[in-house]
Structure 1
Amino acid sequence: MSTGAAVERTRVDWVDGAKGIAILLVALAHAVQWTVLSGLAPELWNKINLVFIVFRMPLFFLASGLFAASIIRRTWPTLWRTRLSLLVWALLLWTLIRFGYFSLFANPAGFDETNPIDLLLAPVRPSNGLWFLYALALFFVAAKLMSNRVDWRVQIGGAAMLSVLFFARADTGNIAWNGIGRYFLFFLLGCYLREWILSFIDRPSRFGALGLGLGFGVAFLVLAGVILTVDAGMPFITGTLVLVSLLALGAGLLVARFLVGYRAMTWLSYVGRNTLPIYVVHVLFVSALTSLLLLARGQTWLDRLGPALPLLVAGGAVAASLLVWRLVRDLPVLRYGFAVPTWFSGRAPAREVAAREVAAGTAASVSAASADAAEPVLPRNE
């Protein structure tokens, strides 16, 4: 492997590690919601959950943005085939699956996902935890529309203003649109500052890393102190959470780069490479595990586990989600829970594309078409 290829491999590993951290925090957030609302875990977990708002989704969207610059330069049909179709397919399919699941099994946390109106409006107004897919698809579309039309600094400045407003509790009444307002900034930062971010994380200066770590540590402790000691409903000072999020991102990426250097942490990169199956499935297992634990309410062993239940439920849900994906990913029909059908994406099977191009006698086109057709349906990095 060439030196350049080795550097790129390292970059992918730590970005995958960052995505792994992000999806684990997302799973933990849902496990906290379910177990606390069900009375299984202490209320303190809700406030701990709030602290991670500065880190969880910003890290996810930044990591997605790091690989977006080349993607948004593709033609609209290619963008649809290689990226948007999967996001749209997963959103529509798993919204239906969640609707069916919670129609059959009561949600122990009390969330209602069985409203048929919400189901019909899901393509324009998602109202469940799958909103990340919707937001990411819109971010790709918006970034492509603005590419070469709006200066990237203007894009980031406008997104920063939106982020400040929505972190300061501007509210559309919809989880997806609130998330779009909060997190578009971080996607654009990954998209347009990619080389600077990669360079800094790959070769951080000691003073830069130390300063970033200390700055984040102080800001995080102050934020945690405010949340843990003050009414959680109290509005935050405008802009504070955006600033803490930026510090958190830098610190989180450095931590991810540090962790993936250890063989014992290779599982973290694996989790980060396979965020889609975890993201769409884990809530079903969080709900099921919470329901099972409720059957043992009042048992001494369950009371003793109470403070650790969110961690245990989140870990179990992530492991179960990956297991389901590995079991069905090569099976007819079932694999389309995690892969977009060719009839929906417009992507021709690799053999068919190669055969067409060979028949046309265009060697260069064969290479390009085969590469496009062979691109994994579950992309390593969004």
Structure 2
Amino acid sequence: MGSEIDRTRVDWVDGAKGIAILLVALAHAVQWTVLSGLAPDIWNKINLVFIVFRMPLFFLASGLFAASIITRTWPTLWRTRLSLLVWALLLWTVIRFGYFSLLPNPAGFDETNPVDLLLAPLRPSNGLWFLYALALFFIASKLMRNHIDWRVQIGVAAVLSVLFFARADTGNIAWNGIGRYFVFFLLGCYLRERILTFVNRPSQLGALWLGLGFGATFLVLAGVILIVDARVPFITGALALVSLLALGAGLLVARFLVGFRAFDWLTYVGRNTLPIYVVHVLFVSALTSLLLLARGQTWLDRLGPVLPLLVAGGAVAAALAFWHLVRDRPVLRYGFAVPAWFSGRAPAGNVTAKAAASVSAEAAESPERMLPRSD
């Protein structure tokens, strides 16, 4: 019975991660299609509201099983977690640089600055910053463990989150995200049992209704805050608190959905976030470029209101298909797996592409779902 409960708990965390990665893909699809003039501007407003949902949900899910990971020795932490994050960040930053150097970005974003490429290990300037932030969160959490009370950690991180939601700005997307979202990783890390109890307590149907209630309240409050901010600057700092409602909604709805076989695909997506995360933007850009060739066509104009959804879905499907195509091929598989020489593992224990498919740390107690453990 206990193992069944644990498995259910992990399943809904995967479902929550699936929701989060789909929203990340949708956010990029909105940016590309709206800036290209293919989709209506209302999507930008929708994107703005979900800024307090998608990444907090991702980082909270990553933190839920981080407590045991940060107890590992530094060499083990590097082999089992950090090496993959660092490898994926460096490799795909170079790949994106090459890709957009050959195929201009239809949304106008410039990722071809060689200075930004060289500085990527210190200040990532593209959408891969999540990998950078997650690696630093593990490092910071381990450094503070047994030295700073966890309540102080959360308190300071919460203040930083409020400040960055209130538009404090470092001039860099990665460092802004670190300031904004570290608190959610720590909440998952230190309040794991309380969160699991909260999500698992209601019945499946009860989880749905409670989740919808949280979600509706979040949407109303977030909308009011974003409207009022035009007259009362920096009130957006309150979004850090409102995001807790969004997180409750996301976790509870995920708990409800994973109880149905029809949503097994959502759990699958949540278990394979890495290939989606690092590849989908390339497909979003390519699909947008192809659609621009049909600009002015009646059918394209009719699809405009839902185009971001179609582009996001197509990009996610293409990213997973690409991963399945290359994950077992020599050399190519290292787009999603860290080589032994980089991680410090013995070649026989090298990380496989399939095991490396998820970037977050939800599987500390189930190592086959993330990276093989050597401890």
Q: 2:169 aligns with which of 168, 171, 183?
A: 171
Of 357, 362, 367, which aligns to 1:378? Answer: 357
Match of 2:273 among 269, 275, 279: 275
- The Cα of 1:351 is off from its aligned counterpart by 6.5
Q: Is this contact kept in 2: 1:342–1:349, CA < 8 A? A: yes
Deviation at 1:121, TM superposition (A): 0.1
Match of 1:256 among 250, 254, 257: 254
Name the structure 2 match of 1:221.
220
Write out aligned runs for 1:273-312 (5 A).
273-312=271-310
CA deviations on 1:279-319 (whole Å, 9 max, x unpaired) are 00000000000000000000000000001100000000000
5+ residue gaps, structure 1, are 353-371
The separation in 2 between residues aligned to 1:174 and 1:45, in whole angstroms, is 24
Question: 1:373 and 1:152, CA in 2 relative to 1: closer, same or farther beyond 3 A?
Answer: farther
* 2:39 paired residue number: 41
Alpha-carbon offset, residue 172 of structure 1? 0.3
Q: In the alignment, which of 44, 60, 65 is matched to residue 67 of structure 1? A: 65
Distance in 2 between residues matched to 1:109 and 1:169, nearest whole Å: 24
Match of 2:341 among 325, 343, 361: 343
Structure 2 gaps, min length 5: 362-375
Measured after TM superposition, the shift of residue 350 of structure 1 is: 3.8
**What SS does structure 1 have at the residue aligned with 2:244?**
helix
* Contact 1:18 1:59 (8 Å CA) reproduced: yes
After TM superposition, give the deviation of residue 379 of structure 1 in Å: 4.6
Q: CA deviation at 1:373?
A: 10
1:29 to 13, 27, 30: 27
Secondary structure of 2:330's counterpart equals coil
For residues 6-37 of structure 1, the C-alpha deviation after alignment (integer angstroms, 9 at most, x for no partner) is 11110111000000000000000000000000
1:114-172 superposed Cα distances (whole Å, 9 cap, x missing partner): 00000000000000000000000000000000001100000000000000000000000
Equivalent position of 1:55 in the other structure: 53
Give the deviation of 1:209 after TM superposition.
8.2
Match of 1:135 in 2: 133
Taking the aligned partners of 1:132 and 1:283, their CA distance within structure 2 comes to 14
Do the aligned residues in 2 keep the contact of 1:163 with 1:185 (CA within 8 Å)?
yes
Distance 1:57 1:242 in 2: 12
Aligned to 1:188: 186
Partner of 1:316: 314
Deviation at 1:233, TM superposition (A): 10
* Alignment-mate amino acid for residue 129 of structure 1: G
Q: Deviations over 1:239-286 (max 9, x none)?
A: 310111011101110000000001100000000000000000000000
Equivalent residue letter for 2:59: F
Q: Give yes or no for contact 2:39–2:308 (8 Å, CA) kept in 1.
A: yes
The secondary structure found in structure 1 opposite 2:168 is coil
Paired residue for 2:245?
247
The one-letter code of the counterpart of 2:20 is A
Which residue of structure 2 aligns with residue 362 of structure 1? none
Asked if the contact 2:225–2:236 (Cα under 8 Å) also holds between the matched residues in 1, the reply is: no
- With the length of structure 2 as denominator, give the TM-score of the two structures: 0.91
Partner amino acid, structure 2, of 1:323: A
| Residue 207 (structure 1) shift | 9.0
| TM-score, normalization by structure 1 | 0.89
Equivalences for 1:77-116 in 2 at 5 Å? Answer: 77-116=75-114
AA in 1 matched with 2:145: S
Contact kept? 1:347, 1:373, Cα under 8 Å: no
Q: Given that residues 16 and 381 in structure 1 are in contact (C-alpha distance below 8 angstroms), is that contact kept between their aligned partners in structure 2?
A: no
Give yes or no for contact 2:161–2:179 (8 Å, CA) kept in 1.
yes
Contact 1:20 1:270 in 2 (8 A): yes
Question: 2:368 matched to which residue of 1?
Answer: none
Alpha carbons 1:62, 1:187 under 8 Å: kept: yes
SS at match of 2:170: coil
1:201 equivalenced with 2:199 (yes/no): yes
Deviations for 1:25-76, whole angstroms, at most 9, x for unmatched residues?
Answer: 0000000000000000001100000010110100000000001111000000
Percent of matched pairs sharing the same residue: 79
Q: 1:232 to 1:300 in 2, by over 3 A?
A: farther
Deviations 1:57-100 (A, max 9, x none): 00000000001111000000000000000000000000000000
Alpha-carbon separation, structure 1, partners of 2:96 and 2:141:
30
Change (3 A) 1:373 1:347: farther
**Alignment partner of 2:153 out of 152, 155, 163:** 155
Cα pair 1:18 1:252 within 8 Å, conserved: yes
Is contact 2:89–2:131 with CA below 8 Å preserved after alignment? Answer: yes
Counterpart AA for 2:219: F
Contact kept, 8 Å, 2:333 with 2:353, in 1: the verdict is no
SS in 2 for 1:239: helix
Q: Distance in 1 between matches of 2:128 and 2:355?
A: 21
